[in-house]
Homo-oligomer: A and B are copies of this chain.
Amino acid sequence: MSEEPTLDEPKRRPTIGDVAKAAGVSPSTASRALTGQGYAAAAVKAKVLAAADQLGYVPDEFARSLKRRTNRLVGVVISDLRNQFYADLAAGIEQVLGAAGYQMVLVNDDGDTDRELAGVRTLLAMRVPGTIVTPLSSEAGALLTSQGVRVVEVDRQMAESQCDAVLVDSEHGARAATGHLLELGHRRIAFLIDELEWTTGVGRLTGYREALRERGVDYDPELVVRVGFGEGSAATAIASLLEVRPDVTAVFAANNLMAEGVWQEMQRRKLRVPKDVSLVAFDDLPWMSMVQPAVSAVSQPVVAMGAKAAELLLARLSGTLTGDPRTVWLEPTFERRGSTRRLPG
């Protein structure tokens, strides 16, 4: 019979006791040598390290966390990794966390509050000292803070939550985009929005309305279309709106998913952008500058937002930052591209 380990046999991993024995010292000395905490003679330390290396010893983080009553895990709750927005956010977070020796634990909530709560429960069970969340409900954050877990909200903020947050100035971005359309002479601008429960939705709508008000253009509620979350919802929504309101000359899609839907629908209907209808998006994605014409969009510093959130959290965890909750605002920039044109006449 071969000595090759088969795929099916389990394996007892070396403990600090094994290392200690191999080095001829006590477990406590081995611990001190390994962690660098406390005294350990240089010679002993070397011997322990060698033994550990030889045995392929990797300390059990669970046992360590149990003893130390803390760990270097950070929970991250997002909605959908397949949406590049969230993926970029996670990437930004991971980058900062990793550099600080923290490990990210990603939880997907799929936009579902039940799953969000379940995810939070998982993180609680893992005793993460801190979390970064794109909140769906206020319960999740409340539960976390009630258990003493640090929370930083990113992208959007739940009204009740008394925690740090890193946000993009949606209102400003939406006002810039809408203002741009208005300056080009557009007056009937459709606004597609998928939610009005979060600060993002509200902020974007507010920015839209403010731009109208600034230019003395009447707000027409019929032009504000509430879009569902499913794939194709935006396409359907814009299709029906154009049916009823063929006088619409421009569309403002309040996120990248809806922008994609609208863009697809335009292609399908052989509507020319920007000749037949102008288009602007909130949240810039690579494809928007690759299509013809490129889509004008409000660009958010997504990776930076994630990074900033991680920094804030780390500062809280280390005690560098104390006191009242901080809200960090990041400014989006409006990228004018080819999808908008001046209305003739």
Contact = CB atoms under 8 A, between A and B. Distances in A.
Interface of A: 5, 7-11, 13, 56, 58-63, 65-66, 71, 80-82, 84, 87-88, 90-91, 94-95, 98, 103-108, 121-122, 124-127, 143, 145-148, 150, 162-163, 260, 263-264, 286-287, 290-292, 303, 316, 319, 322-325
Please state the number of chain copies in the assembly.
2
A121 B150 CA distance: 26
A325 B5 CA distance: 13
Contact of A127 (B60, B108, B290): B60
A82 to B, nearest CB: 5
Given A8-B322, A81-B87, 20 more contacts: A5-B145, A7-B323, A8-B323, A11-B148, A56-B147, A59-B125, A62-B71, A63-B66, A82-B87, A82-B303, A95-B108, A103-B122, A104-B106, A260-B286, A286-B287, A287-B287, A287-B290, A287-B291, A291-B291, A291-B292
B147 A11 contact: yes
Contacts of A95: 108
Contacts of A122: 103
A7 B316 contact: yes
The 7 closest A-B pairs by CB, nearest first: A11-B148, A287-B287, A87-B87, A62-B62, A61-B125, A81-B91, A58-B124
Nearest to A70: B10
A124 B57 CA distance: 10
B84 A80 contact: no
B287 A263 contact: no
Given A13-B147, A147-B13, A286-B287, A94 B65 contact: no
Contacts of A90: 81, 106
A57 B135 CA distance: 22
11 contacts: A5-B146, A11-B147, A58-B124, A81-B81, A81-B94, A84-B84, A104-B106, A105-B106, A106-B106, A287-B290, A291-B291
A272 to B, nearest CB: 12
A87 B87 CA distance: 7
Contacts of A81: 81, 87-88, 90-91, 94
A105 B108 contact: no
Given A66-B60, A260-B286, A106 B94 contact: yes
Contacts of A147: 11, 13, 56, 58
A7 B58 contact: no
A263 B147 CA distance: 51
Nearest to A90: B81
Contact of A60 (B7, B10, B125, B316): B125
Among A81, A127, A324, find the residue whose CB has the most chain B CB atoms closer than 10 A.
A81
Nearest to A9: B148
A148 B13 contact: yes
A10 B69 CA distance: 11
Contacts of A61: 62, 125-127
